[in-house]
Amino acid sequence: MLRVAVAGASGYMGAEALRLLCVHPKLQLVAVTSERLAGQRLDKVFPHLRGLSTLVFSELDPARISDEADLVFLALPHMESQRAVPVLRKHGRKVIDLSADYRLRDGALYATWYKAGHIDAAGLGEAVYGMPELYRKAISGASLVANPGCYAMGAILATAPLLKSGLGRVEGIVIDGKSGVTGAGAQGRTIDPMYLYAEANENVQAYAIGTHRHTPEMEQELSALAGKPVVVGFTPHLVPLNRGILTTASVPLAKSAGTADLLALYREFYAGEPFVRVLPEGERPTTRCVTGSNFCDVTVVSDPRTGRAVCVSTLDNLGKGGSANGVQNLNIMMGWDERTGLEAPPVYP
Amino acid sequence: MLRVAVAGASGYMGAEALRLLCVHPKLQLVAVTSERLAGQRLDKVFPHLRGLSTLVFSELDPARISDEADLVFLALPHMESQRAVPVLRKHGRKVIDLSADYRLRDGALYATWYKAGHIDAAGLGEAVYGMPELYRKAISGASLVANPGCYAMGAILATAPLLKSGLGRVEGIVIDGKSGVTGAGAQGRTIDPMYLYAEANENVQAYAIGTHRHTPEMEQELSALAGKPVVVGFTPHLVPLNRGILTTASVPLAKSAGTADLLALYREFYAGEPFVRVLPEGERPTTRCVTGSNFCDVTVVSDPRTGRAVCVSTLDNLGKGGSANGVQNLNIMMGWDERTGLEAPPVYP
Amino acid sequence: MLRVAVAGASGYMGAEALRLLCVHPKLQLVAVTSERLAGQRLDKVFPHLRGLSTLVFSELDPARISDEADLVFLALPHMESQRAVPVLRKHGRKVIDLSADYRLRDGALYATWYKAGHIDAAGLGEAVYGMPELYRKAISGASLVANPGCYAMGAILATAPLLKSGLGRVEGIVIDGKSGVTGAGAQGRTIDPMYLYAEANENVQAYAIGTHRHTPEMEQELSALAGKPVVVGFTPHLVPLNRGILTTASVPLAKSAGTADLLALYREFYAGEPFVRVLPEGERPTTRCVTGSNFCDVTVVSDPRTGRAVCVSTLDNLGKGGSANGVQNLNIMMGWDERTGLEAPPVYP
Amino acid sequence: MLRVAVAGASGYMGAEALRLLCVHPKLQLVAVTSERLAGQRLDKVFPHLRGLSTLVFSELDPARISDEADLVFLALPHMESQRAVPVLRKHGRKVIDLSADYRLRDGALYATWYKAGHIDAAGLGEAVYGMPELYRKAISGASLVANPGCYAMGAILATAPLLKSGLGRVEGIVIDGKSGVTGAGAQGRTIDPMYLYAEANENVQAYAIGTHRHTPEMEQELSALAGKPVVVGFTPHLVPLNRGILTTASVPLAKSAGTADLLALYREFYAGEPFVRVLPEGERPTTRCVTGSNFCDVTVVSDPRTGRAVCVSTLDNLGKGGSANGVQNLNIMMGWDERTGLEAPPVYP
């Protein structure tokens, strides 16, 4: 059995990785790390996993973890991943990085958006962007996979067919993301009052207007698809739910196309994908229908009044927008059926 | 004291009108109507008002209600308002219509979006669009005020200064609205399962993509401000909260402008307005901070990467987006201080 | 493979059965019925299951379904189950009844609480109360299993060790249940406005005070454990969440006992149970930690000031309080590992 | 105009006091204090109050505040109130203390439950328990009013008529409280992860079983009503809503009584009370119907099977369970109409 470790598992993203990995039939979860929780039992920190694991948190020692595990999920804050990755790779370990550190291929772009230079140029050069729908083959041979940001995953899956086909124009794209609260930082670190129940409940707000760090990810991938530079205006929003992102993207069309035509394009683009569901015309994606799963539901509607397509996708930010997608990447890297360990249907309602 | 009636008070919009009117110091609530609830005590239907009113619901008889009341709020479904209004007006009664029936000045536009001809062309010609920030003077002399749609109110207040000044371009505007659930139909009529708790909770969805009926209201008013036709792409969303709309509008700028410049423009435009609060730079509108009140909080951010302004507003869909704005209109029509009966601060948290 | 059908699958309880059964590795889901939904695709009604099933709803014909399936889950309203069960049993089919029809062994008690006589006395005599922790052996040989009510499951698991041991007194027991909204009726039938989002959200209420039909179930099972009649005062409450029941039971103690003693008693009582987790002293059951699973988390605290034990349990009303427990029963009936198809951990957060 | 200050206004209880006081027509809010927020504008900390106050937070200096204000609301943590009160009283200022410091008349009891000796025995001797329904006359002449705890208010109002009349027995009382999240600590101090959105949302839990500090308040007041010692078993619960407490009290009856008899007793007991609403038989208290107001809705149901009365009350923990009740006390102390500044109806939905 594959031995797998999760580093930085104190936050919600790490918790979701643990939840999926502890019952994955083809691997053994061998170690979990957290500086803050070192020494504590995993099932005391995450009592939903009581009875499912007897692991104890340890501090992160990349060298030691390389002895214990064949593959490591990193759920570390950005800047910390790029310190651990070189050590793990030196020891020949495969890495699935859930942080932002290896998503942008251009180190200069990283420096611009993350306000700090990247210290692992070699890793950056070899990392594969972990979106199976675009890079399945590269992922299968990769030793370092950069799992996409949750908003980026939603935005790219919502619009990729339009940009790839040339039907979508590269200017004037406006993307609006609405995310549940677990997208927003770990349980145990300094807590922004914005995430308190009484503050987030019965409340909606926009934040990071024009400055969210998933924006350059979207532009990188959509530009690659379009074959020319794409600029997007992206506004993220915090909405009162635990899990889920709904993305609404307005894309100007290069030529007139009806909704049925657009949906046909989407169905062709995503044909065979096990986790992208293009909905029948007239059905609406909801976050509810993907919660707890690796599915992304997508639709597109033509608006002839504005000459735009309105693209909508939903995913679970901890699922297809995070750890479940990481498990899909793991399955691809290992040559397993991509659905392995991801069979549990979405939890509705 | 002014005698006021509320017709069609079985839904949430009517309930909010009752909540505000039953303690308004300068008027007396004399009648409430509902076909479905006729004969029932108001405080049984709306037990939050127990002790605050002893009224009993009756059926709507426009002639009789003209005897009982000097001014009538109509919280009827659209198509029903236009049947009641001519009778009320013939009897010399003032009307504040919370329905959609008198918002579009162009009867043909009404027919297009509402799939039915308008039967009161005379009323349509005299109705004043009830947005005090744009039509205060006309409202003060009006006998028929068409209270704006909730999404329209949010979108127009968020973008009016840009369109009026010419700084905003009239093409390429993308507006994304997120509404709580009370925007969505009456408590007692046929219930769409979409509004069940277990369906709406922990769920976000887009609906009526490209077809929402508040769209032509936005275009009517923004075109009037711009002096030329404005087309907007509008997508409404249902988010899990009881009250509140957050509007995010992306407006291409005709020329470069910084956030501070834009905010200065907004402050000037809304100077003296008692219920529009332009936030200081760096602060974010939240629905939480306007819940239960007639406030609309607004900000604008320049995004030089896209050459667009991102405009954000929040309001309570039953407040500034509905009945509280109706009370502000009433105060204007009566020559009273606009804040009368609207003093209670937003309920946070 | 075992062929399984679900009858009456339009509500939340049926939907959860489908969610679990469609990925259960040892059976095949062969039919789903609903009078209202007959002819519709299952994945249109329950879009979270898109890609996981191609079944179409049919009308319930017990004879025909006996041809198609070896075992049938009934998620019918009470009174309807007792009409279908005799036919299914005549054809030799096994039945797991999620309704209330076969839970009370005493037909007269059924008549008292359900205001109608029971029409299948034979079935009533053979049905086994489907609580594996009390009746595992009987379930393994049963052809008709009456799955417990959600509140009853929570209350019995919370207090059984006290009653069985004689440490709990049989008089003066007060039980308070708090349930999420899915406990409350089907998606598609007549909708009580109480379950509308805007009514249930930000709201808590008690209902059916002294009259809830799960009360006699609790008394039947607790009396059997105590060996003498137990009367409980039970008050159910509706709280704003989709899934989950927390039960708080106050049980007078026959003699003094500390919390550690009580917990030791509970651990012994539930030793080896795969789905009951007695928490360590100082940890608190939460509905969050069992959502989406078949777990029931339990604790007990001694209150020497009152001479009472306070027993607390949490479960998912659709999980251990419903369909997941039904799957556990199915596994027992078939001689399979009880965890089969129930491996997915609770969905936190 | 009366000059009023609020000390310790950084938390939700203080915020609610500010919300009510800033529009109270007979007083002027002259100062707000918070060690943490000193120097910040009130409307930046609490943006819902933008436009309603221009105050700036200062540090608490009891001597200086005695110069500025005639009456002071203390929303300080317990132990801090008893340091400020003697200074304020020495300067002749009236005090309404929202903390727990002056609620228990017996200093020894305080020491037992709060694990610390009380340092202001003189104050303790003169403080009046601020429940107008029980102590209106004493409050009217008081200079120091101890505003009740939120759970205590709900429990006492739910059961007082039974204990006062002798119909309720003093043993075997079980009280179960369900509170929204704002009952649980300030916005800005150390944050228990339990109050994070993703932890509290979709979650219910019991806490402080047998040890909650509002228990001795309940016993003190119910014993005074009964004329003999009352012991209650109290279990508080955290439920996912911002505001509201529902209390369910099970009280053994000394003799048989029907629901109508019990309700008649309650109506007589609360006759003339402006803020306690005894509901008609068959109607259910909900937290929704009191949110944002000073109302407490109450009902009682006789359960002949158990010989107990089930008493249910709802209130807003920041309203009748906190600051709004404080304003009622202030009105009584000043000889004003008790409804002054409390006219705004509950915010439904």
- Reduce the secondary structure of C270-317 to three states and give it as a string: CCCCCCEEECCCCCCCEHHHHCCCCCEEEEEEEECCCCEEEEEEEECC
What the block records as the tokens of D285 is 């208290």
Element (H, E) at D154: helix D150-165
Longest dimension (CA), chain D: 61
Q: Is the distance from CB of B97 to CB of B139 less than 8 angstroms? A: no
Stated pTM of the model:
0.97
Inform me whether the pLDDT recorded for A15 exceeds 90. Answer: yes
Q: Which residues contact C178 (CB under 8 A, 6 or more apart)?
A: C204, C236, C237, C238, C239, C245, C246, C247, C248, D178, D204, D237, D239
pLDDT value at residue A190: 56
Calculated CA dihedral for residues A167, A169, A173, A175, nearest 10 degrees? 20
pLDDT value at residue A66: 97
| Eight-state DSSP code of residue B345 | P
Within-domain flag for C79? yes
Chain B residues whose C-beta is within 8 A of a chain D C-beta are 12, 15, 19, 22-23, 44, 46-52, 182, 202, 242-243, 274, 277, 279-280, 283, 286, 288-293, 295, 297, 343-349
Report pLDDT digits (tens) over A53-67.
Answer: 999 999 999 999 999
pLDDT value at residue D194: 87
- Average pLDDT of span D285-296: 98
Q: Strands, DSSP E only, in A13-153?
A: 27-33, 57-58, 71-74, 94-97, 128-129, 144-146
Q: B317 to chain A nearest CA, in Å?
A: 13
Q: Which chains touch A (3 or more CB pairs under 8 A)?
A: B, C, D
pLDDT value at residue C186: 46
C-alpha to C-alpha distance for B277 and B256, rounded to whole angstroms = 24
C-alpha to C-alpha distance for C315 and C298, rounded to whole angstroms = 9
Q: Phi, psi (5° rounding) for residue A249?
A: -120, 130
Within-domain flag for B119? yes
Inform me whether the pLDDT recorded for B268 exceeds 50. Answer: yes
Which of A276, A273, A263 has the alpha carbon at shortest distance from A309?
A263
| Eight-state DSSP code of residue A185 | -
- Average pLDDT of span D186-194: 63
Size of interface B-D (CB pairs under 8 A): 86
Residue owning tokens 């890495």:
A95
Within-domain flag for D56? yes
Report pLDDT digits (tens) over D195-209.
Answer: 899 999 999 999 999
Coil/strand/helix, residue A263:
helix
Taking chain B, what is the end-to-end CA distance rounded to the nearest angstrom?
35
Report pLDDT digits (tens) over C118-161.
Answer: 999 999 999 999 999 999 999 999 999 999 999 999 999 999 99
Percent over 70 (pLDDT), chain D: 98
Q: Is the distance from CB of B8 to CB of B77 less than 8 angstroms? A: yes
Q: B344 to chain D nearest CA, in Å?
A: 7
Residues A42 and A118 in one domain: yes
Report pLDDT digits (tens) over C211-229.
Answer: 999 999 999 999 999 999 9
Percent over 70 (pLDDT), chain B: 98
Alpha helices in chain B, H assignment, sequence order: 12-21, 42-45, 62-68, 81-90, 107-114, 121-126, 132-140, 150-165, 197-200, 215-226, 259-269, 323-334
Residues D157 and D239 in one domain: yes
Within-domain flag for C348? no
Residues A260 and A142 in one domain: no
pLDDT value at residue A185: 54
Q: Which residues contact C277 (CB under 8 A, 6 or more apart)?
A: A50, A51, C295, C296, C297, C298
Please confirm whether the linkage preceding D349 is cis (ω < 30° from 0).
yes
Chain A residues with CB under 8 Å of B291 CB are 202
pLDDT value at residue B184: 65
Residues A73 and A204 in one domain: no
Chain A interface, best mutation among B181, B199, B203, by max A CB count within 10 A: B203
Task: Provide the residue range defining the domain that includes A61.
Answer: 2-148+322-334
Q: Kindly determine whether residue B349 and residue D44, on different chains, have CB atoms separated by under 8 Å.
A: no
What CATH code is carried by the domain that includes residue D106?
A: 3.40.50.720
Average pLDDT taken over every residue of chain C = 96
Inform me whether the pLDDT recorded for B252 exceeds 80. Answer: yes
Give every strand in the sheet of C71-74, ordered side by side.
C57-58, C27-33, C2-7, C71-74, C94-97, C144-146, C128-129
Q: Is the distance from CB of B99 to CB of B62 less than 8 angstroms? A: no
C-alpha to C-alpha distance for D311 and D149, rounded to whole angstroms = 18
Within-domain flag for B342? no
Chain D residues with CB under 8 Å of B47 CB are 279, 283, 286, 289, 297
Coil/strand/helix, residue A112:
helix
Q: Is the distance from CB of B140 to CB of B243 less than 8 angstroms? A: no
Confidence label for A186 from pLDDT (cuts 50, 70 and 90) = very low
Average pLDDT taken over every residue of chain D = 96
Which of D161, D176, D120, D160 has the alpha carbon at shortest distance from D144?
D120
Q: Kindly determine whether residue C305 and residue D209, on different chains, have CB atoms separated by under 8 Å.
A: no
Within-domain flag for A95? yes
Inform me whether the pLDDT recorded for D184 exceeds 70. Answer: no
Residues A174 and A237 in one domain: yes
Chain B interface, best mutation among A113, A175, A209, A290, by max B CB count within 10 A: A209
Of A182, A187, A198, the CB nearest to D12: A198
Confidence label for A183 from pLDDT (cuts 50, 70 and 90) = confident
Structural domain count, chain C: 2
Of C19, C277, C349, the CB nearest to A345: C19
Task: Give ipTM to 2 decimals.
Answer: 0.96
Residues B132 and B197 in one domain: no
C-alpha to C-alpha distance for A244 and A321, rounded to whole angstroms = 9
Chain A interface, best mutation among B150, B209, B253, B311, by max A CB count within 10 A: B209
Inform me whether the pLDDT recorded for A305 exceeds 50. Answer: yes
Residues D48 and D178 in one domain: no
Give every strand in the sheet of B296-303, ordered side by side.
B205-206, B232-238, B173-179, B245-252, B308-315, B296-303, B276-278
C-alpha to C-alpha distance for C168 and C149, rounded to whole angstroms = 22
Q: Phi, psi (5° rounding) for residue B250?
A: -105, 115
What the block records as the tokens of B77 is 């479904």
Residues A205 and A278 in one domain: yes
pLDDT value at residue D186: 46
Residue B270 one-letter amino acid:
Y
Within-domain flag for A169? yes
Report the alpha-carbon angle B99-B339-B43, nearest 5: 60
Inform me whether the pLDDT recorded for C60 exceeds 70. Answer: yes
Inform me whether the pLDDT recorded for D27 exceeds 90. Answer: yes
Which of B347, B344, B322 has the alpha carbon at shortest distance from B149?
B322
- Average pLDDT of span A12-27: 97
D50 → chain B, closest CA residue: B277
Inform me whether the pLDDT recorded for B330 exceeds 90. Answer: yes
Residues C166 and C309 in one domain: yes
pLDDT value at residue D185: 55
Q: Is the distance from CB of C296 to CB of C131 less than 8 angstroms? A: no
Q: Kindly determine whether residue D22 and residue B345, on different chains, have CB atoms separated by under 8 Å.
A: yes
What the block records as the tokens of A332 is 């691809």
Average pLDDT taken over every residue of chain A = 96
Which of A324, A303, A317 has the alpha carbon at shortest distance from A249?
A303
Residues B169 and B301 in one domain: yes
Q: Is the distance from CB of B33 to CB of B58 less than 8 angstroms? A: yes
Within-domain flag for B343? no
pLDDT value at residue B231: 97
pLDDT value at residue B208: 96
Residues A184 and A144 in one domain: no
Please report, for residues A55, A220, B100, C279, the alpha-carbon distance to residue A43 in angstroms, rounded to integers and kept in the order given: 8, 39, 55, 11
Residue owning tokens 């639709």:
A299
Residues D54 and D166 in one domain: no
Q: Kindly determine whether residue C305 and residue D174, on different chains, have CB atoms separated by under 8 Å.
A: no
Report pLDDT digits (tens) over D34-57.
Answer: 999 999 999 999 999 999 999 999
Confidence label for D4 from pLDDT (cuts 50, 70 and 90) = very high
By residue count, chain D amounts to: 349
Please report, for residues B5, B8, B11, B18, B320, the alpha-carbon distance to residue B81 in angstroms, rounded to integers and kept in the order given: 14, 9, 15, 18, 21
Beta strands at C144-146 and C232-238: parallel, antiparallel or unpaired? unpaired
Among residues C22, C150, C289, C311, the one annotated as catalytic is C150
- Average pLDDT of span C18-24: 98
Report pLDDT digits (tens) over C151-190.
Answer: 999 999 999 999 999 999 999 999 999 999 998 654 445 5
C-alpha to C-alpha distance for D237 and A110, rounded to whole angstroms = 46
Element (H, E) at A43: helix A42-45
pLDDT value at residue D190: 57
Confidence label for B186 from pLDDT (cuts 50, 70 and 90) = very low
- What totals of helices (H) and strands (E) does chain C contain, helices first? 12, 14
C-alpha to C-alpha distance for A61 and A66, rounded to whole angstroms = 9
Report pLDDT digits (tens) over C67-77.
Answer: 999 999 999 99
Q: Is the distance from CB of D15 to CB of B348 less than 8 angstroms? A: yes
What CATH code is carried by the domain that includes residue C308?
A: 3.30.360.10
Element (H, E) at A311: strand A308-315
Inform me whether the pLDDT recorded for D189 exceeds 80. Answer: no
